[in-house]
Structure 1
Amino acid sequence: MNVNRAPLSASLLVALGCAACGTTAPSDVRPPEPRSSAETPRIPIGSVAPRPPLQTVPATVIPLPTVESPRPDDAGIFADPATVSAEWLRQWCTLDWREPMNANLDRAARYQTSSSAKDDRREGDTDDTYRSMREQQLSSGCDEVTAMSSPEAPQSADVAYLVLSARRVNSAAGVAFEAEQVRSARRVLRQTDGRWLVDTRVEAG
Structure 2
Amino acid sequence: MRLVLPLVLLAAVGCAGCTARPAASGAPAGSSAQQRPAGTTTRVPVTTVAPRSPAQSGVTVVPPLSPATPPAPGDPAVFATAQAVGVEWLRQWCAVDWREPMNANLDRAARFQTAAAARADRRDGDDENTYRSAREQQLISACDRITATESPEAPHSAEVAYLIISARRVDSASGTAFEDRPVQSVRRVVRQPDGRWLVDEQVEAG
How far off is 1:40 after superposition? 7.6
1:56 aligns with 2:66: no
The alpha-carbon deviation at position 191 of structure 1 amounts to: 0.5
Residue type matched to 2:18 in 1? Answer: L
SS of corresponding position for 1:141? strand
Are residues 1:117 and 2:118 paired?
yes
User: Which moved further from structure 2: 66-75 or 152-161?
Assistant: 66-75
Deviation at 1:138, TM superposition (A): 0.9
Paired with 2:50 and 2:84, the residues of 1 have a C-alpha distance of 26
CA displacement at 1:163 relative to structure 2: 0.1
- Residue 144 of structure 1 corresponds to 145
Tell me the SS of whatever aligns to 2:153: coil
Q: Pick closer, same or farther for the CA change 1:100–1:16 going to 2, 3 Å.
A: farther
User: Paired residue for 2:10?
Assistant: none
User: Matches of 1:62 and 1:39 in 2, distance apart?
Assistant: 19
Q: 1:62 to 1:144 in 2, by over 3 A?
A: closer
Structure 1: give runs of 5+ residues left out of the alignment. 18-33
Give secondary structure in 2 for the equivalent of 1:185.
strand
1:155 corresponds to which letter in structure 2? H
Whether the aligned pair in 1 keeps the contact of 2:5 and 2:46 (CA below 8 Å) is no
Equivalent in the alignment of 2:71:
71
Q: Give the counterpart letter for 1:90 in structure 2.
A: R
What is the RMSD computed on CA atoms of the aligned residues? 2.8
The 1:44/1:52 distance shift into structure 2, 3 A limit, reads: farther
Q: Return the TM-score normalized by structure 1.
A: 0.80
Supply the AA of the counterpart residue of 1:3: L
Inter-partner Cα distance in structure 2 for 1:39 and 1:126: 24
Question: What does the per-residue CA deviation read over 1:42-65, in whole Å, with 9 as the maximum and x for residues that have no partner?
Answer: x75322121121x21239934121
Listed as ranges, the matches of 1:186-201 within 5 Å are 186-201=187-202
Supply the distance in 2 between the matched residues of 1:159 and 1:182 (Cα, whole angstroms): 23
Report how far residue 39 of structure 1 moved: 6.8
Could you state the TM-score of these two structures normalised by the residue count of structure 2?
Answer: 0.80
Kept in 2, the 8 Å contact 1:95–1:141? The answer is yes
Tell me if structure 2 keeps the 8 A contact 1:35–1:56.
no
In structure 2, how many angstroms separate the alpha carbons of the residues matched to 1:137 and 1:123?
20
Q: Any stretches of 5+ residues in structure 2 without a counterpart?
A: 7-13
The question of whether the paired residues in 2 share the 8 Å contact of 1:185 and 1:204 is answered with: no
Q: Is the 8 A contact 2:18 2:94 kept in 1?
A: no
Aligned to 1:47: 45
Instruction: Report the Cα offset of residue 37 of structure 1.
Output: 6.7
Distance in 2 (CA, whole Å) between partners of 1:38 and 1:136 is 16
Measured against aligned partners, the alpha-carbon deviations of 1:138-174 in whole angstroms (never above 9, x if no partner) come to 1111100000000100000100000000001100001
Provide Cα deviations, 1:171-200, integer angstroms capped at 9, x if missing partner: 000100000000000000001111100001
* Residue identity opposite 1:35 in structure 2: G
Whether the aligned pair in 1 keeps the contact of 2:80 and 2:196 (CA below 8 Å) is yes
Aligned-partner Cα distance in 2 for 1:121–1:130: 13
Query: How is 1:102-113 mapped onto 2 (pairs within 5 angstroms)?
Result: 102-113=103-114
Query: Are 1:56 and 1:179, in contact at CA under 8 Å, matched by a contact in 2?
Result: yes
The residue aligned with 2:31 is 36
Letter in 2 for 1:63: V
Kindly state the Cα deviation for residue 120 of structure 1 after the two structures are TM-superposed: 0.4
